Amino acid sequence: MSSSTPLISSMSLALLSLLLLLFSACYTARSSAADCDPADRAALLRVKAQLGDPAGLSSWLPSTNCCAWDPSVFCDAAGRVTGLALYSLPDVSARVPPALGDLAALEILQVDSVPGLAGPVPASFANLTRLLDLDINGTSISGPVPGCLLAGAVSLRTLVIANSKLAGPIPASLAALPGLRYLDLSGNMLSGAIPPGLLHGGSRFLILSNNRLTGEIPSDYGDGDVDTIDLSRNQLTGDPSSFLFGITKPAVKIDLSWNQLEFDLTEVSFPHHLRFLDLSHNRVRGRVAKSLMDVKLEHFNVSYNELCGEVPAGRFMSMHGADCYAHNKCLCGTPLPPCN
């Protein structure tokens, strides 16, 4: 295929969260003389205890200013804890701390590489009404997607619970969050259909790869300002070509690989700014679309389909090697063997 390097989006989640955390840190710098809110400090100490007092939180001491605790406690000018990042805690073997829900001013919560963190998202998360960004990755969190628990976080714009053990359907109630524009539930065991209308606003990201989702892709994900759609490695069916693709679409990355999608690629058009396209391991038929000649793709893969005919030549098609077309019905022409 053209490239194995992941495409870096114009508005990545990591960059977004970092900017928000730095914004909170600026508030701390302006009020360094102020101690953290006593209720927030007490809540953080309960979080530490519920996690089993891990070594990575040894700096969390009752007699110190919690706004200066490391790793990554961030406060606003009033000393309220607005950001918390828990990462790389290999000695944790505990359930998700209910005390996290006692941080009433929390806007950003990041949990990364805490594989021993297990159990469902606790009911106390319903108290996090100011939450803007929830980013959980690399845990053993299980149970359903906590749609009802996040219903009160009306400003939530980023929801990531990835590479964990969530199961069951994606709740349609997430569509009621008016600011949600980045949804990543990849690497779980989710099943059922993808609900429509989950994303809103500009620069939308829908990442649901590596699950057990079935049914057709809702057509509304072809509308609006969608930057990234990654639905790879599911069991999706149907024909999304009429609404996901088109010369005027804003998408930068589309990954539909390893599904059961069926459509004719011959006349499909693609936006010129598309940089990642993977349709491999589906049931795509017809010919390789000539419109791809004008798209400078950094990653391109249509292997393991039912395509036939001569591969278009010229312009950006020269960037793609033979492995991009492998295991199709009867493709030929550069970079494949000549047509008879």
Q: What is the pLDDT of residues 134-151, one digit of tens each?
A: 999 999 999 999 999 999
pLDDT value of residue 30: 31
- Spatial contact of 130 and 105, defined as CB atoms under 8 Å apart: yes
Radius of gyration of the chain (CA): 23
Tokens linked to 326: 């492998």
Q: What is the pLDDT of residues 153-168, one digit of tens each?
A: 999 999 999 999 999 9
Q: What is the 3-state secondary structure (H, E, C) of 166-214?
A: EEECCCHHHHHCCCCCEEECCCCEEEECCCCCCCCCCCEEEECCCCEEE
Class of residue 324 by CB neighbours under 10 A (exposed 0-12, middle 13-18, buried 19+): buried
Top-confidence residue, 215 or 223: 215
Q: How far is CA 47 from CA 38, 107, 119, 300, in A?
A: 14, 17, 15, 45
Average pLDDT over residues 68-73: 87
Q: What is the pLDDT of residues 113-140, one digit of tens each?
A: 999 999 999 999 999 999 999 999 999 9
- Spatial contact of 313 and 290, defined as CB atoms under 8 Å apart: no
16 has pLDDT over 90: no
Top-confidence residue, 2 or 272: 272
pLDDT value of residue 34: 65
**Residue 6: band (very low, low, confident or very high) from pLDDT cuts 50, 70, 90:** very low
**Domain spans of the chain?**
34-332
47 has pLDDT over 80: yes
Average pLDDT over residues 88-92: 94
pTM metric for this prediction: 0.90
Average pLDDT over residues 192-221: 97
Name the β-bridge partners of 300. Answer: 277
d(CA 213, CA 236): 6
Average pLDDT, the chain: 91
329 has pLDDT over 80: yes
Class of residue 264 by CB neighbours under 10 A (exposed 0-12, middle 13-18, buried 19+): middle
d(CA 173, CA 265): 34
Q: What is the 3-state secondary structure (H, E, C) of the chain?
A: CCCCCCCCCCCCHHHHHHHHHHHHHHHHHHCCCCCCCHHHHHHHHHHHHHCCCCHHHCCCCCCCCHHHCCCCEEECCCCCEEEEEEECCCCCCEECCHHHHHCCCCCEEEEECCCCEEECCCHHHHHCCCCCEEEEECCEEEECCCCHHHCCCCCCCEEEEECCEEEECCCHHHHHCCCCCEEECCCCEEEECCCCCCCCCCCEEEECCCCEEEEECCHHHHCCCEEEEECCCCEEEECCHHHHCCCCCCCCEEECCCCEECCECCCCCCCCCCCEEECCCCCCEECCCHHHHHCCCCEEECCCCEEEEECCCCHHHHHCCHHHHCCCCEEECCCCCCCC
CATH number of 34-332: 3.80.10.10
Asked if residue 335 has a cis previous peptide bond (ω within 30° of 0), the answer is yes
How far, rounded to the nearest angstrom, does the alpha carbon of residue 242 sit from its chain's CA centroid?
A: 24
pLDDT value of residue 314: 87
Top-confidence residue, 107 or 7: 107
Q: What is the pLDDT of residues 258-283, one digit of tens each?
A: 999 999 999 999 999 999 999 999 99
- Spatial contact of 254 and 231, defined as CB atoms under 8 Å apart: no
Top-confidence residue, 24 or 218: 218
Side-chain half-sphere of 333: how many Cα atoms within 13 Å? 13
